[in-house]
Amino acid sequence: MQYTKNEIKKGVTLHYINTNKFKTNLYAVFLAVPLDRKNVTKNALVTAILRRGTNNIKSQDLINMKLEEMYGASFDCGIEKTGDNHVMKFYLEAVNEEFLPEKEELTKKCINLLFDIIFNPLIENNGFKKEYVDGEKEHLKQIIESKIDNKRAYSLERCIEEMFKDKPYGLYRYGYVEDLETLTPQNLYEYYIDLINRGKIDIFVSGEIEKGSIENLVKENEEIKKLKERIADYKIIGVNEKNIEETKTIEEHMQVGQGNLVIGLNVNKKDQNSKFVASVYNAILGGGANSKLFQNVREKESLAYTAGSTYKKQKDTIFIRCGIEIANYEKALNTIKKQLEDMKQGNFTDEDIENSKKLITESIVGISSEQDAEITYCYSQELANEFITLEEYIEGVNKVSKEEIIDLANNTLIDTIYFLRD
């Protein structure tokens, strides 16, 4: 992967990943702003409305027809939380021009269409098209209300919400139903203008395309020319210092046959390199079938249907997740705590460390086999205001020592215990 970037306008950056691994080119635009309670629902709604039509292409059906004409190109969009940022993501994927039956400026068409969707929305009566706003409000309401249907995902969301109560990361990425009532085509469009003028804009192009050609196509695009320069309003991802006064225990009751236990751990890292140590720590603890949680909580004690952990490095947190029989709650919790204590005492082997490093290395190597994964990796580095290559990341992981893991284990504390039960 050959990666370069260039600020084409203050607050607007073009990123280029030169790769010949794929027969497709992938174009993406990310718009990031700080997570904020009063705007989180607006961001989700705006993202959905933009895909419905532009001033040039009036409907989603017409956009789809345009994509079909472009040799079956595909478009998608979504919204994510990355650190304390709310990120609106837009993707367009199309076949590389080298594989077309005849010469055609497909790259230019892709870039122009993607920018048209994001920066030139369909406007009527000084606002978004009412029909599209009403339709997406109803759809977003359904998404928000249906989050309770998947109890495992819901339990993780609730743990995050409690762990980061009254903090940006605790917000639900799709927002809140009660906010939808106040949103109109006009005030939403007014907000969109503010969003486009202050957010951090990152444009990614991945594929086998001449870099100078891409730069020219982007710079000469009429929608990009219209963008104002800005001091981008976003949060740089860095080391998070956290003080835990006491562990919070939250118990929620629903009609469920299986209990869902989620434990949020705060990793008090000392520096940026600690992320390598935390990755190895998490892999030993609950990262796979050989992990302590899987082997002891699930296999040996038969206390859980599922048992594992995930490290979210942007927030220096680890989430332990177990699906358990409700009657096994106390025993399962104590067994999990025993694994955490074992990590503090160094009760794990050199083989555990090596297996965990191999597991992480495989996942890092796998990034380069997917275009969207490469873009996501580079974008996370951009938000952290650093750039570590995949090779450097693997090297950092392989340097981690047992002493460093033990030290980090003793600086990793339980913040929140959430249990969904009957």
CA-only gyration radius of the chain, Å: 23
Domains of the chain: residue spans and CATH? 2-226 (3.30.830.10), 248-421 (3.30.830.10)
User: Residue 66: is it exposed, middle or buried by C-beta count within 10 angstroms (0-12/13-18/19+)?
Assistant: middle
Q: Locate 301 and state its tokens.
A: 């004690």
Q: How many CB atoms lie within 10 A of CB 138?
A: 10
pLDDT 10s digits, 119-153? 999 999 999 999 999 999 999 999 999 999 999 99
pLDDT means per 10 residues in the chain (422 residues)? Answer: 92 96 96 97 98 97 97 97 97 93 91 98 97 98 96 96 96 98 97 98 94 93 97 86 80 91 90 89 94 92 91 94 94 96 97 96 95 96 93 96 96 96 90
pLDDT 10s digits, 46-97? 999 999 999 999 999 999 999 999 999 999 999 999 999 999 999 999 999 8
Measured between alpha carbons, how far is 412 from 410 in angstroms, rounded to an integer? 6
* Residue for token pair 């495989």: 362
